[in-house]
Amino acid sequence: MPPRAAGRRGLIVSGALYGLRIGRIVRGTTVTTIDAAEPAESAVRPAWGGAFGRLWSAAVLSSFGDALRTAALPLLAASLTDEPLLIVSVTACGYLPWLLFGLLGGAVADRVDQRRAMWTVDAVRAVLVGGFAVAVALGHASIALLICLAFALTTLQTLFDNAATALLPALVDRAALGGANARLMTGQRVAGGLLGGPVVPLLLAAGAAAPFAADAVTFLVAAALVASLRVCAPERARRPRGSTLRGEIAEGLRVLGRDRSLRALCAATALCNVGMGALIAALVVLVTGWLRAGPGGYAAAMTAYTVGSLAGGAVNGWVVTRLGRIRAVLVAGAVQTGALVVMGSVRQLAALVGAMAVFGVMGMVWNVNTTTLMQQRSPAGMLGRVSAAFRTLAVAGAPLGAVLGGVVATAWGLNTPALLAAGFFVLSVAVLIAGGG
């Protein structure tokens, strides 16, 4: 994932495959064949200094701020209303802009200076969150204001994330993209998953506005770091006269549809997200109801997932060196399928915790390599649109999965959403095998 994509409400997705030869990429009239002869992940790593180091710092700091805000928002919403539908609406409005504006954000990202777009968006978001913190401090917070804030931040995020995905290949060597993505995602997981959450109660002791004020500061510092980057803008072909955003969006969708391997990765990710939506919607009741493990068991499961994700970032290079990038993704999807079966069929907390750890390891392998493949295989000047099409189509699966998870849990038992998720992961692996042949 690009900077902030993982931290800023990134979906958990899992697995696909990079064989010795996975077919051809049609880029206009040029046909490119990708082989397993790419440099070993362990041999080519991005330099910590310079542009990548600043981008990494901005991404990690942002993830820390995100963790503060996303933990504080539901608590604030619950203090303002006891209507579950209104509380859930705050979260839902944080996802809706991807479906409405995700494709537009990708097209704009391909038109503008991506570095400038990123720091400008962060500066605007700092003002929005800072203003919200002031409203909370003065006692003017409301559910309507929370919903508007969540919607506005994610709308801006559609431009930021697509611009960040398109900019990263200009900051590191092509062969180092996998290592760069692994470092970004691992740093974001540490900041957002391990450090941010425990700090929220300390900030809340200083007042309900404190987590939002801290998040605004992270936006400002991240904007300054991105603005300080000195990098040549990615090459772009001159737009034809009369070119429109609608036409450029359609072109991005066509490029994604023509590339057999990217098309398979996108379809597989969408299927995984249906499964993940079902799992996430029912994970609390799976642990506290079916396993009767209580809140402590749920905390243990989530901690195991986070620790597994960190381990996945550490071992990803080793895995790719031995399997190749797409084969690593396929193996990740297959292993995650097994972990989901364990979650839904073994009625022991220890088994669930172990399965969540394995799930986290393989989820990170999937995320790093699908993002890297998309960056490597997209035509120059079109990465924003291709990544936007990929993300938007994939995100659409999660709400459907959440609904399906609730239905099957009600009809057949609290463990069945995990088994339903395993079924969708099986489908995703099948799609990957068909698309990589």
Q: What is the DSSP letter of 22?
A: E
Q: Output the pLDDT for position 165.
A: 77
Q: Output the pLDDT for position 389.
A: 84
Q: Give the domain ranges of the chain.
A: 21-41+245-435, 50-227
Q: Is 23 left (phi over 0), alpha (psi -120 to 50) or beta?
A: left
Q: How confident is the model at residue 43 (pLDDT cuts 50, 70, 90)?
A: very low
User: Which has the higher per-residue pLDDT, 428 or 47?
Assistant: 428
Question: How far is Cα 90 from Cα 86, in angstroms, rounded to an integer?
Answer: 7
pLDDT score of 131 more than 60: yes
Token pair in block for residue 190: 């540490």
Question: How far is Cα 289 from Cα 111, in angstroms, rounded to an integer?
Answer: 50
Question: How many Cβ atoms from other residues are within 10 Å of residue 95's Cβ?
Answer: 17
pLDDT (tens digit, 9 = 90+) per residue, 330-381?
Answer: 999 999 999 999 999 999 999 999 999 999 999 999 989 988 888 888 877 7
The position carrying tokens 């986070």 is: 306
pTM of the predicted protein model = 0.72
Domain spanning 21-41+245-435, CATH class: mainly alpha
User: Which has the higher per-residue pLDDT, 240 or 283?
Assistant: 283
User: What integer best gives the mean pLDDT of the chain?
Assistant: 80
User: Which has the higher per-residue pLDDT, 45 or 86?
Assistant: 86
Contact 433, 258 (CB under 8 A): no
The position carrying tokens 């991404």 is: 59
CATH topology of domain 50-227: Growth Hormone; Chain: A; (1.20.1250)
50-227 and 21-41+245-435 share a CATH fold: yes
pLDDT (tens digit, 9 = 90+) per residue, 200-251?
Answer: 778 888 888 999 999 999 999 999 998 988 766 555 556 666 677 788 888 8
Q: Which of 140-154, 275-289, 336-350, 423-437 has the highest mean pLDDT?
A: 336-350
Token pair in block for residue 326: 């797409």
Q: Quick one: how far is CA 149 from the chain centroid?
A: 20
pLDDT (tens digit, 9 = 90+) per residue, 141-158?
Answer: 888 898 899 889 888 888
- Ranges 38-42, 63-67, 230-234, 299-303: which has the least confidence: 38-42
User: Which has the higher per-residue pLDDT, 190 or 343?
Assistant: 343
The C-alpha angle 309, 303, 353, rounded to 5 degrees, equals: 90
The position carrying tokens 């642990």 is: 287
The string over 98-133, giving b where at least 16 C-beta atoms fall within 10 Å of a residue's C-beta and e elsewhere, is beebbbbbbbbbbbeebbebbbbbbbbbbebbbebb
Q: Output the pLDDT for position 46.
A: 64
The C-alpha angle 392, 429, 184, rounded to 5 degrees, equals: 55
Contact 313, 182 (CB under 8 A): yes
Token pair in block for residue 236: 């772009």
Q: How confident is the model at residue 429 (pLDDT cuts 50, 70, 90)?
A: very high
